[in-house]
Amino acid sequence: MKPYKNMSEEELNVLKTELTKQYEDVKGKGLKLNMARGLPSAEQLDMEADFFNTLHPESDFYSEAGIDCRNYGELTGITEARKLMADMMEVSPDEVIVFGNSSLNIMYDTVCRSVVLGVCGSTPWCKLDKVKFLCPVPGYDRHFAITEQFGMEMINIPLHDDGPDMDMVEKYVNNDPAVKGIWCVPKYSNPSGITYSDEVVRRFANLKPAAEDFRIYWDNAYTIHHLYNGKEAELLEILEECKKAGNPDMVFKFCSTSKVTFPGSGIAALAASENNLAFVKKVITIQTIGHDKLNQLRHVRYFKNIDGMKAHMKKHAAIVRPKFELVIDVLKKELESLEIGTWTNPNGGYFISFNSLPGCAKRIVAMCKDAGVTLTGAGAAYPYKKDPEDSNIRIAPTYPSMEELAKALEVFVICVKLASVESLLGPEV
């Protein structure tokens, strides 16, 4: 089929009638499918059954250092959990604090702490007239929600195939002292799936911030979440690069096992320089007596070490990969020749980013919803939920079964086509 843009109004009208019928047909099926969030599927979770064998009534509940994990203490995490998370984060255990079940919670608290208490002795942000955050787009909606809640001004930075537009990042960070942070998902980025190039990481490390309390918020959520053997993305380690560049304190790095073991019941960690961690420790020692050490112990005993964790991720990949391939296959087959959308084809992570014709994303998501297919809200990948082009849609293919996914894609493709035809035809007179 030829590109829609080359069609005559008459051809488009014929197509519209046809697509409208198709849409009404799928709508009549009463589907209830969800591609909204990056959730592991039941099949992935079932694969983890042995996790529930790691601690049992006869277990030894003591850490390697002799700490009773059933009692209070060890604010920064038991030694072996710090080691495991350090290996996952490619840093040293001294640079790691293991927290509770959510890296999002760590990020929120890290920003909140800066608002109330400042960063390592700087003026608390709540005492400042204006705080700005840079937001590579499309990006992770929950990052933007944090900075929005604290009333910060968010500035869109285009995300290219190799990372954020670094000319723009440098311009803002190096000149404006109100710019206090940038949100990054540097590997298998949410939602586009791209990984920052070595050059981009080095340019990050070599920033010369106008604000002493500027930090890079480096959410390495998908660091070991590869889809293919032999096609693993390589990302330079940012703490190391910052040290080399003489900026050791410039980064907070976040990670969790939410998509390694269980969302909501994993363990999460923060990595940062000695200076940063000393300040964080001073604050969190008032916030809590410690995090869940039994869950840290479960994780360490389940995986043994980083190799065990990586081997485990291959099992996840085996379940997730066919879903990504199905999405890509369907989009290619159904949409490529029509030139009404582009999409990413990532080698890891949890998302595919789809770009429709400008002005169509909201309409597509709404039509899908009416036909029983829930997608992430259009615009969600942008600060204030405002996609200037109204074209970006995040596809999260992991949660549905293959069969459900195929059905959902059928609906999605019809909606993309119909919305595109409508858009090309323009408003009815």
Sheet holding 341-343, edge to edge: 341-343, 352-356, 392-395
- Total binding residues toward a second copy, as defined by CB under 8 A: 57
**Amino acid in position 154:** M
CB of 226 to a second copy, least distance (A): 22
Q: Is 264 in the site for a second copy (CB under 8 A)?
A: yes
For the record, the structure tokens of 380 come out as 């969600």
- CB closer to a second copy out of 35 and 55: 55
- CB closer to a second copy out of 106 and 409: 106
CA distances from residue 147 to 109, 110, 165, 181, 389 in whole angstroms, order as listed: 11, 11, 20, 10, 22
Using CB under 8 A, which residues numbered 13 to 52 contact a second copy? Answer: 37, 39-40, 42, 45, 48-50, 52
CB of 408 to a second copy, least distance (A): 18
Burial string for 150-188 (b: 16+ CB within 10 Å, else e) reads eebebbbbebeeebbbbeebbebbeebebbbbbbbbbbb
Strand-strand pairing, 268-271 and 251-256: antiparallel
Q: Is 426 in the site for a second copy (CB under 8 A)?
A: no
For the record, the structure tokens of 59 come out as 């277990």
CB of 166 to a second copy, least distance (A): 28
- CB closer to a second copy out of 30 and 72: 72
Among 31, 117, 168, 210, binds a second copy (CB under 8 A): 117
Q: Is 116 in the site for a second copy (CB under 8 A)?
A: yes
Strand-strand pairing, 96-98 and 352-356: unpaired
For the record, the structure tokens of 80 come out as 């072996």
Residues in contact with 123: Cβ distance below 8 Å, sequence separation at least 6, in sequence order:
213
Using CB under 8 A, which residues numbered 66 to 105 contact a second copy? Answer: 68-73, 100-102, 104-105
Among 21, 61, 333, 337, binds a second copy (CB under 8 A): 61
What number of CA atoms fall less than 13 Å from residue 372's CA on the CB side? 16
The SS3 call for residue 402 is helix
Sheet holding 268-271, edge to edge: 96-98, 268-271, 251-256, 215-219, 179-184, 132-137, 153-160, 163-164
DSSP letter for 226, please.
Answer: B
Q: Kindly give the residue spans of alpha helices, DSSP state H, lying in 249-372.
A: 274-287, 293-303, 306-335, 361-370
The 342-361 site mask, x for binding a second copy (CB under 8 A), equals: --------------------
Q: How many CB atoms lie within 10 A of CB 293?
A: 23
CB of 199 to a second copy, least distance (A): 33
CB of 313 to a second copy, least distance (A): 17
For the record, the structure tokens of 330 come out as 């369907």
Residues in contact with 134: Cβ distance below 8 Å, sequence separation at least 6, in sequence order:
154, 155, 157, 164, 169, 172, 173, 179, 181, 182, 183
Among 177, 248, 263, 359, binds a second copy (CB under 8 A): 263
Q: Is 319 in the site for a second copy (CB under 8 A)?
A: no
- CB closer to a second copy out of 139 and 290: 290
| Region from 19-27, 120-128, 168-176, 272-280 binding a second copy, contact rule CB under 8 A | 120-128
| Region from 2-10, 53-61, 176-184, 311-319 binding a second copy, contact rule CB under 8 A | 53-61
Using CB under 8 A, which residues numbered 274 to 303 contact a second copy? Answer: 283, 286-295
- CB closer to a second copy out of 55 and 411: 55
Using CB under 8 A, which residues numbered 220 to 259 contact a second copy? Answer: 258
CB of 100 to a second copy, least distance (A): 5
| Region from 113-121, 301-309, 353-361, 405-413 binding a second copy, contact rule CB under 8 A | 113-121
The 188-217 site mask, x for binding a second copy (CB under 8 A), equals: ------------------------------
Q: Kindly give the residue spans of alpha helices, DSSP state H, lying in 69-211.
A: 79-89, 103-117, 141-149, 166-175, 198-205
CB of 287 to a second copy, least distance (A): 4
Residues in contact with 304: Cβ distance below 8 Å, sequence separation at least 6, in sequence order:
none
Distance CA 27, CA 22 (A): 9
Among 27, 142, 202, 385, binds a second copy (CB under 8 A): 142
CB of 51 to a second copy, least distance (A): 8
Interacting residues with a second copy (CB under 8 A): 37, 39-40, 42, 45, 48-50, 52-53, 55-59, 61, 68-73, 100-102, 104-105, 108-109, 112, 115-117, 124, 126-127, 142, 145-146, 149-150, 258, 262-265, 283, 286-295
